[in-house]
Amino acid sequence: MDERTNGLTTWIEVSEAALRHNLGIFRSLVQPSTRLLAVVKANAYGHGLELVARACAAEGVEMLGVHGADEVRDLRRAGITTPVLLMGFLTGRQVETVVDPGVEVLVSTLEVLDALAAHAARLGQQLGVHLKIDTGTHRQGVAPGEARRLAQAALDRGLRVAGLATHFANIEDTTDHTFAYRQLARFCEALESVRTVAPGVVAHAACSAAALLFRETDFGMVRLGISLYGHWPSRETYLSWLLAHGRDGVKLEPALRWRARVGQVKDVAAGEPIGYGLTFRPTRLTRLAVLPIGYADGYPRALSNRARVLLHGRPAPVIGRVCMDIVMVDVTDVPGVAVGDVATLIGRDGTEQVTVEELAELAGTINYEILARLSPLVPRLPFEG
Ligand SMILES: *Cc1c(COP(=O)(O)O)cnc(C)c1O
């Protein structure tokens, strides 16, 4: 801990070394000509947009992927000039306010092409677009058979067709990759037809799981989210890796730790109820520590009476309900806990570690959701190591 945390009751530490390490893994996995796009939507999966974008830019990441217009604005305000791929829906007004030649929009509709063309004319500059092909996820995008028409529509409007993209529906949830290969075949068809009108188009299909498992999805660029932050997309993805490679090779490093200071320590008699709903009654005299974080900060209420935090390198179980801003933990077996001590909600303390995956499992969700819902109000501190 350093002096930056003196005035804080809770904070999130982000290891730039871990981000660099994880990027390095992907640089060595993909083809030398394949570019890396760092997906920094959802406040960089909870790690802090500006901090992560800056670290990625310093590592020479070729592109940043965001969901919406606000994120583009935040990046530009922070002085980050790395090219951006805007992947989500955007209104005509948002096109006017955030798109410049450094922002390429992932397009699925003629409406957005029209708005971009009008904006390019106003700017007097050419804008690049990426076309989204729906190869079976049935989310955003046009059917592979429509790809060439959409490309031609972009060209007719004076736009540059910079990229062609698709997204896989079923890599993370299974070790059977039949559906992914079907999507890949459809994408290759679309790519071939679009190349007849836009030969320079950069194709990209891979998310973290595909970039870990399938070299045939490298194309010109890969879009890295969860694994850039040091997490396997799922147990099935990890299992697929093991089936193909054995234990060697990839050691992703989680980049985030979440800490909070103990606000109060108190003893509660056996049989006394703890917290809202009186859901926990200790069977012994219990020392509890009160922590100043709760579900408003992104610590799921589903962790009530289930999770553990670390204090002095030892586990302290969460007891009673997780409140909006407060959590109670049992420190009866952790000697010497005092007000101001630092508890670890996510990450390592000594030889013990609470992983995002452990919390996700206990809360009935996935690591992505735990990370993405960490409140942006909790300060993010970059640190080395
Ligand atoms: C979020 C997202 C990604 C990143 O997925 P991960 O599984 O986190 O690597 C890639 N592509 C698109 C279109 C996305 O929305």
- Ligand 1 nearest-atom number relative to CA 88: 15
Q: Which of 132, 238, 251, 276 is catalytic?
A: 276
Task: Indicate if 134 and 200 belong to the same structural domain.
Answer: yes
Domain span including residue 281: 256-354
303 lies in a domain? yes
| Statement: residue 385 has pLDDT above 80 | no
Q: How far is the CA of 150 from the centre of ligand 1 (A)?
A: 23
379 lies in a domain? no
Residue closest by Cα to atom 8 of ligand 1: 225
Q: How far is the CA of 171 from the centre of ligand 1 (A)?
A: 12
For the chain, what's the residue count?
385
Query: What pLDDT is recorded for position 384?
Result: 81
Task: Indicate if 197 and 290 belong to the same structural domain.
Answer: no
- Ligand 1 nearest-atom number relative to CA 172: 7
End residue of a domain, out of 191, 218, 245: 245
CA dihedral of residues 208, 214, 219, 223 (deg, nearest 10):
0
171 lies in a domain? yes
As a whole number, the mean pLDDT across the chain is 96
Task: Indicate if 222 and 269 belong to the same structural domain.
Answer: no
Task: Indicate if 219 and 77 belong to the same structural domain.
Answer: yes
| Statement: residue 24 has pLDDT above 90 | yes
CA dihedral of residues 199, 202, 206, 207 (deg, nearest 10):
-150
Task: Indicate if 301 and 196 belong to the same structural domain.
Answer: no
DSSP 8-state code for residue 142: B
Which residues lie closer than 8 Å to 129 by C-beta, 6 or more apart?
104, 105, 106, 107, 113, 116, 154, 159, 160, 161, 162, 163
Q: Which of 41, 238, 295, 368 is catalytic?
A: 41
Task: Indicate if 225 and 262 belong to the same structural domain.
Answer: no
Task: Indicate if 282 and 345 belong to the same structural domain.
Answer: yes
Q: What is the mean pLDDT of residues 110-133?
A: 97
CATH number of the domain within which 224 lies? 3.20.20.10
Task: Indicate if 204 and 77 belong to the same structural domain.
Answer: yes
* Residue 226 near ligand 1, beta carbon < 6 Å: yes
pLDDT digits (tens, 9 = 90+) for 287-338: 999 999 999 999 999 999 999 999 999 999 999 999 999 999 999 999 999 9
| Residue 251 among the catalytic residues | no
Higher pLDDT, 172 or 4: 4
359 lies in a domain? no
Angle between helices 49-58 and 69-77 in degrees, nearest 10: 70
* Residue 382 near ligand 1, beta carbon < 6 Å: no
Q: How far is the CA of 88 from the centre of ligand 1 (A)?
A: 11
Q: How does residue 246 score in pLDDT terms, banded at 50, 70 and 90?
A: confident
Query: What pLDDT is recorded for position 1?
Result: 56
Query: What pLDDT is recorded for position 294?
Result: 98
260 lies in a domain? yes
pLDDT digits (tens, 9 = 90+) for 48-103: 999 999 999 999 999 999 999 999 999 999 999 999 999 999 999 999 999 999 99
Rg (CA), the chain: 23
Q: How does residue 172 score in pLDDT terms, banded at 50, 70 and 90?
A: confident
Query: What pLDDT is recorded for position 168?
Result: 94
Query: What pLDDT is recorded for position 2?
Result: 75
Q: How far is the CA of 356 from the centre of ligand 1 (A)?
A: 18
**Order of strands, sheet of 264-268, starting from the edge strand that comes earlier in the sequence:** 264-268, 286-291, 327-330
* Residue 204 near ligand 1, beta carbon < 6 Å: no
Task: Indicate if 213 and 73 belong to the same structural domain.
Answer: yes
DSSP 8-state code for residue 280: B
* Residue 210 near ligand 1, beta carbon < 6 Å: no
CATH number of the domain within which 273 lies? 2.40.37.10
Domain total of the chain: 2
